[in-house]
Structure formats: C-alpha cells, structure tokens
Chains A and B, each alone.
Chain A
Amino acid sequence: MAWVNAIIQGVLIGGLYALFACGLSLMFGVMKVVNLAHGDLAVLAGYFAIGIVAVTHVPVLWSFVIVVPLMAVLGYIMQRTILQGALDRSVLTTLMVTFGLSVVIENGLLQFETANTRGIGVGLPLLTESFSVGSIQIAYLLVVFFATAVIVLLGLQYFLSRSKYGRLIRAVADDKEAAQLAGADYRHVFGIAAAIAFGTVALAGIAYGMYSQLSPTTGTDTILLFAFAAVVIGGLGSLWGTLLGGVVLGVAQQIGAQISLSDEVLAGFIVFLAVLVLRPQGLISRGAQS
C-alpha cells in the first residue's frame, strides 16, 4: 500500500510540476528563449502575493486574481524590451540575459526580503486538510493543483488551436518571417506568448508557496530545475508533455522517497538523465504530436 500511496502522491504533485513547466516550454517553443529566470519569476510572483495579502488583507486566493495579470503584463513588457533586444542579437544572448535577470531577482529578494522562508496562506484549512481513500491520505491542495494544471493546459490548448492570437503564435513559432509577410508583427505576438507564460509562472509560484515555503533561492534550486526536468522528460515544446513529464518526475521522486527519504530529489533527476540518454526528444516529441 505504501507504494500505491507513493505513486498516487507522485501523480498529484506532478500537476504542480506541470504548472512549473508549461511556461518554460511555451517560451522555448515559440521564441526559442530558454528562460533561466523562470523559477525566480515564480518566486517573485509568490512574494508579490505575500505582499498583497499583508498590505490589503484580501483573502489569499484573491492574490491570484491580482498577481497573475500583473505578471502577464510584466511578461509582455519584458519580452518587448530586454528579451526581444537579446533575441535580436542571438539566441545565446537570451541565455545570458535571463541568467543575469535570475541573479538580479534572487539578490534583490535577498536584499529586501531577507533569506527567511515564507509560506503563503499559512493557516488556511485548504493547505492542511485531506481526505482518505482506504488507507491513503490525499491532500485537497494537491488535488486542486492537479485540477488547475489540467484546466490551464486545456485552456492553453484551446487558445492556441482556436483563437486568432493562438494561431498567430503557432505561425510565428513556425516561421516568423513568413508571418511578417502576412502582416503580423511577430514582436507583438512574442509579447502575448510571454504574457501567457508569465501568467502560468505566477500561478506556479503562488502554488508552490502554498504547498511548501518560498525563499529567494527557491526559484533556481527547486522550481527551475523541476521545470527543466519535466519539460525534458515530457518533450520540448509539447504542452501535454509537461503534464506527463511532471507526473513522471513526481512519481519518481515519491518512489525514491519511499526507498529512502534522502533519495527523493535524486530519484527524480536519475529519471531525467535516463530520458535524456535514452529518449532525448522526450516521451511526447513534437513531431509525433502533429
């Protein structure tokens, strides 16, 4: 039963990892930007939520309504300014710029918010309550995260396949010059894609703050790494691959933890490496999807 429990917990936590990963995957798929500041932006969004709740005393869940659009706007602005500027030079430049951004955010948070860990919504019943199926305890929070991930991915898929801007995003990802000839300003389309990615990043950051604790370094040492692992396992540029990757990573971690508590993170990365060696295109490759 302990193993079944590990697998169920792993699948559910995979939803959270999919939230970590889908923005990273979208930015890479559309703009070929590997956003090394991805995790730090999530943490930043988490701190925004903490700040908003502390100042305005709105219920914790309301912070999503404020922070997600705020981060989306920030995403559009950053894409149109520094990220586009880096892209105009070379793809390699985007790596350096986002790395720099990561360092700036991390140290900015250390400077102004100290190195202490912070939780979001501490004391909220949703964070601690669970229900049992047989002898297995399932936390409501993880179910909510998993459902959120599925809803976000369904929404993204619907947006990309049905809406005007979704179509333009796919067109620009295919061939931005041809899109320009059709009258599309690819910089604007990139901005919209970045806005969506940053919105999901905000969700991921606040969610992680509710699940665990945020500190200025959580972005790089947890969120970015898990997001990378989920994207690589699932398949670069594949939307549902991020959920599959998140689930595989989550299950591997829980099984690792079942063997020995200290092997949790290690087990996840062993699977990540194995996929990289045996199936570098990921479990769902983009080519196979279309």
Chain B
Amino acid sequence: MTASADGERAESGTPLLEVRDLVVHHGQLRALGAVSLRVFPGEVYAIIGANGAGKSTLLRTIAGLHHPTSGSVLFDGTDVTGLRPERRAARGIVMVPEGRRLFGSLSVEENLKVGATYARQGPWTIEQVYEMFGWMRERRKQLTAQLSGGEQQTVALGRALVANPRVLLLDELSLGLAPVVVQRIYGMLPQILATGLTVLLVEQDVSQALRVASQIQCLLEGKTTLEGKPADVSADQVEAAYFGLAGAAPAGPPGEGSEP
C-alpha cells in the first residue's frame, strides 16, 4: 500500500543502513546469529518475530547499545560498528527505545529539549512536533508520568524526531498500548516519512507491521527466516517463518513433540 512498496526496490543504489552478518551474544546466549539486512532511503523496513527472536537485540545493536561478537553495521557507506550510541545519534541513527524510556523527572518540553540538544540540521523542531501533536503544547509543563501510555509513546517519538534522524529506529511502538492508540501512532508514519526519513522498526504485531512496511524480515531464534515485500509474501509464509513451522521437513515442528 505504501508508495515506496510499489515498483522495484531500489536495490541498485547504496543502502542507507546495512547490517552484515551480525552476531550478538548476551553472555553465553547467542541472541543473533549472522543476521544481515539492507535498508534503502525512504523505506519502512519492518522486523517481525516472536518474543525472544532477537528483534530488539538487532535494533539495539544498530543503535550502539550492544556490542556485536562479529559482523558490522554500515551507515551511509561508513562502518559505525565501533561507535558509541551518542556518536551514532549525531550521525542520524536515532532510536525510540522499547518501553518509551522517557526522563521521568523532566517535563514533556524538557524531554523534547534533551532530544534537540545534539540535533542535526533538519526539518524537525520542537515547534514542529507541537504542530503535529497539538495536545503536547498545552501539556508541555507536565511530567511525563502524568501522561497516558499512548501520549508517552508520542513524546518518545517526538524526542527522537527533534534530533532530525536520517534513519529512525522504532522498537515495539505498540507495546502495552490499546490497538486504537497503536493505529493512531502508526497513522502518523506517512507524515513523518514525508520529511525524508527512513524507518526501521521492530514489531510483534505482525498485521500492523505488514500494513506499514515496504520491506519485511522475519526473525526466529536469532536467524532470518523470511525476507521480502509484504505484497510478495503470503500469510502462510509469514506464519511459517514466525513460528518456524516450515523448516526443512514437512514432518512437523522441530523440537516440539508432535501430537499423534
């Protein structure tokens, strides 16, 4: 449905963000096993997968919060694997973290100001965010704890936008929010994309992800099980990739004791 989903994917150009064979461990546990992806300018790239599939780990590693065991993250052609999160933010990789993570003792406006402190040049300003979300201006003096979950998520989104990212990483926007609220927030996405952003998002809500994405990748236990355009993949394929049913053998789910 999204404009960029029609026609050919601009495979020939340089990807804005590229992840090559990323392996990440949490202690002994291998959270990601050689995941690769290429996000092209203007895309909405969605990573779907069940709990513990490694989606958030992937996003956090791209943002610089985890150090990969091996593999690399390239942004606009340069290797940023060794950069700290704040350096990546300065280059334009900005994440809205899972669970919103607003500054609890700061007001709405102060949260936005922190986001704007090290902002790149670009179209987004605090004023621009207020234009888009009118209620925020009236409640700018309030502490974020006094806001509803959906409002907090919007402030978290605003805090990321005022940094003028080139690629916006969205980690589980829908977490803990009512479906209506989730719809409304995702409804803002076209407006945000119109300012020239690229979006890489992680979403547990598959139908939501398929609706907004121009490219999807499904993770299962830290491995890629499916990649393609939402239009090109069938619901069965997605289901199989999500739950790991397809596998190699049609004999049944591996590792699970199948019912007789």
Residue ranges of B at the interface with A (Cβ–Cβ < 8 Å): 63-65, 84-86, 89-90, 94-95, 97, 101-106, 110-111, 113-115, 117-119, 143, 159-160, 163
A173→B106 CA distance, assembly (Å): 11
A183 partner, pick from B103, B104, B118, beta carbons under 8 A = B118
24 contacts between A and B (CB under 8 A): A164-B117, A167-B110, A167-B114, A170-B105, A171-B103, A171-B111, A174-B103, A177-B65, A177-B97, A177-B101, A180-B64, A181-B65, A181-B85, A181-B97, A182-B89, A182-B94, A182-B118, A182-B159, A182-B160, A182-B163, A183-B90, A183-B119, A184-B86, A185-B86
User: In angstroms, how far is the closest chain B Cβ from the Cβ of A45?
Assistant: 30
User: In angstroms, how far is the closest chain A Cβ from the Cβ of B88?
Assistant: 9
Q: Total A-B residue pairs with C-beta atoms closer than 8 Å? A: 79
A183→B114 CA distance, assembly (Å): 9
Residue ranges of A at the interface with B (Cβ–Cβ < 8 Å): 164, 167-168, 170-171, 173-175, 177-186, 290
* Interface of chain A: mostly helix, strand, loop or mixed: helix
Docked-complex contact B104 and A174, CB < 8 angstroms = yes
A183→B89 CA distance, assembly (Å): 5
Residues of B near A290 (CB, < 8 A) are 105, 143
A180→B87 CA distance, assembly (Å): 9
Residues of A near B86 (CB, < 8 A) are 180-181, 183-186
User: In angstroms, how far is the closest chain A Cβ from the Cβ of B201?
Assistant: 15
A64→B18 CA distance, assembly (Å): 54
Docked-complex contact B101 and A171, CB < 8 angstroms = no
A183→B85 CA distance, assembly (Å): 7
A183→B163 CA distance, assembly (Å): 8
B114 partner, pick from A168, A177, A185, beta carbons under 8 A = A168
Q: Looking across the interface, which residue of chain B has its beta carbon closest to that of A180?
A: B85
A179→B110 CA distance, assembly (Å): 12
User: In angstroms, how far is the closest chain A Cβ from the Cβ of B162?
Assistant: 9
Residues of B near A168 (CB, < 8 A) are 114, 117
Docked-complex contact A170 and B103, CB < 8 angstroms = yes
Docked-complex contact A182 and B115, CB < 8 angstroms = yes
A218→B257 CA distance, assembly (Å): 71
